[in-house]
Amino acid sequence: MSSMRDDIRRGLSDIWPAAVAAAPIGLLFGAVAASKGLSPLEVFLMSAMVFAGGAQFAAIELWANPAPIAALVFSTLLINARHVLMGASLAPKLQGFGRWQKLLGLYYMADENWALAEKRARTHRLTPAYWFAMVIPFVLGWLINSTLGAAIGAVLGDPKRLGADFAFTALFIALVAAFWKGRVTFWTVAAAGLASAVTYRLAGPPWHVAAGAVAGLAAAWIAADDAPQTRPIVIDEAGP
């Protein structure tokens, strides 16, 4: 049986590598947003209310005056549609959460803390202490770094020359590696990557996101038919 202190310590320990990896992404977003005319305060408010890195980048790339509302809504909805599946997979594991803990926690769910929570749920019951120990520092890091990027964007220059634009890709490679399950994962990643790359070349963003998601789901469903079924080991932390 783990205590609240143990869960907090574990949550902080699990999230810090992802928080560090997300720092240059936040700086990059802030710098790009500033180049589009957004002030540091506007960047802070966008990060706090939207909190969706990929969708924020897509929105800022489409930013213009006047803003193309329909294109912004459609592209961000398409990119964030994955959160429906992520939330559905995580919801049954939040049995010890109160209603407001679920609503607030899932509002600030990101790919990183979702992946870590799913990994944790394989061996332990998820607790609010563990979840918020991950979420709070990750959210604060994104707010601070994106705002800082907007404030010092001119000083940074083009972040791509430092390789900061690859940080997003590197972070997701690490998340995929943590979930590697042999050939099922291989075919899922391969199908999603190929479909996304081809669609990006032929149709451009944001269609490549949807194409990768559909292809990955289809490949996972087909490959899982022949995969041996295993049951996750869950340690009951509720005590006897």
pLDDT in tens, the chain (240 residues): 568 889 999 999 999 988 888 888 888 889 888 888 889 999 999 999 989 887 888 788 777 777 778 878 887 887 787 788 888 889 899 988 999 999 999 999 988 898 899 889 888 899 999 999 999 999 999 999 999 999 987 566 555 665 655 666 666 666 666 666 677 778 887 888 898 889 888 887 667 777 887 888 788 788 776 555 554 444 444 443
What 6-11 contacts at long range (C-beta under 8 Å, 24+ apart), as own/partner pairs, is: 7/127, 7/129, 7/130, 7/133, 8/129, 8/130, 8/133, 9/133, 10/120, 10/130, 10/133, 11/129, 11/130, 11/131, 11/132, 11/133, 11/134
What b-and-e string marks burial along 145-155, b requiring 16 or more CB atoms within 10 Å of the CB?
Answer: bbbbbbbebee
Q: Which residues on neighbouring strands pair with residue 229, listed in sequence order?
A: none
Q: How many whole angstroms separate alpha carbon 48 and alpha carbon 37?
A: 18
pTM check: above 0.85: no
DSSP letter assigned to residue 124: B
Map out the domains of the chain as residue ranges. 4-161, 180-230
Say how far apart CA 7 and CA 235 lie, in whole Å: 13
DSSP assignment, residue 233?
A: P
3-class DSSP state for residue 24? helix
Structure tokens at 39: 């002030």
Q: How far apart are the first and last CA of the chain?
A: 9
- DSSP secondary structure of 132-180: HHHHHHHHHHHHHHHHHHHHSHHHH--GGGGTGGGHHHHHHHHHHHHT-
